[in-house]
Amino acid sequence: MLKVVFDTNVIVSAALYEESLPALLLSLGLEDEVRFFVSPELFNEYERVLKRPRFKLGHKAITELLEKILKKAVMVNPSKELKILKIDETDNRILECATKAKADFVITGNKRHFPLEEFKGIKIVTPREFINRIPEIK
């Protein structure tokens, strides 16, 4: 089974647009089609960003989504702090989680923050690139 880590922007897009590609990808994780990983720091970032007033997501919707993620995601505790990504330092938490999980993919909607094609064998792709590379889940 493929192992993935979702950038926060993929989670937010999935929450905002239920018919979107990010929502489809998250559903693959929630339905055990891919194994997805989260760390405590990354989960906390999901929660912080989902609660931003500009997204207008209700408390109930946020709580239900976070509960589903906690139930299905594999929690890992990265032991190494990375300082690879410069544009948004918090994106390093995603690489730390992916490295600890030995993930196959980091899926991000913001490749500008991830100028690498891959990191330690982990491919960094957009949702579209992920779907295009994985014919069996189209």
For domain 3-137, give the fold. Rossmann fold (3.40.50)
Instruction: Using the predicted structure, report yes or no on whether residue 137 has a pLDDT greater than 60.
Output: no
Q: Angle at which helices 8-16 and 59-72 pack, to 10 degrees?
A: 130
Give the tens place of pLDDT for each residue, 91-123. Answer: 899 999 999 999 999 999 988 888 888 999 999
The β-bridge relationship of strands 122-125 and 3-6 is unpaired
pLDDT digits (tens, 9 = 90+) for 65-96: 999 999 999 999 998 887 887 777 888 999 99
**β partners of residue 122:** 119
pLDDT value, residue 82 = 79
What are the structural domain ranges in the chain?
A: 3-137
Beta carbons of 29 and 130 less than 8 angstroms apart: no
Q: CA nearest 45: which of 10, 17, 16? A: 10
The pLDDT of residue 135 is: 66
pTM for the model = 0.93
Write out the two tokens for 78.
Answer: 């990265």
Beta bridge partners of 51: none
Token couple for 5? 């880590």
CA dihedral 87, 34, 130, 118 (to 10 degrees): 50
Q: How far apart are CA 45 and CA 65, in angstroms?
A: 14
Cα–Cα distance measured from residue 137 to residue 67, given in angstroms and rounded to the nearest whole number:
25
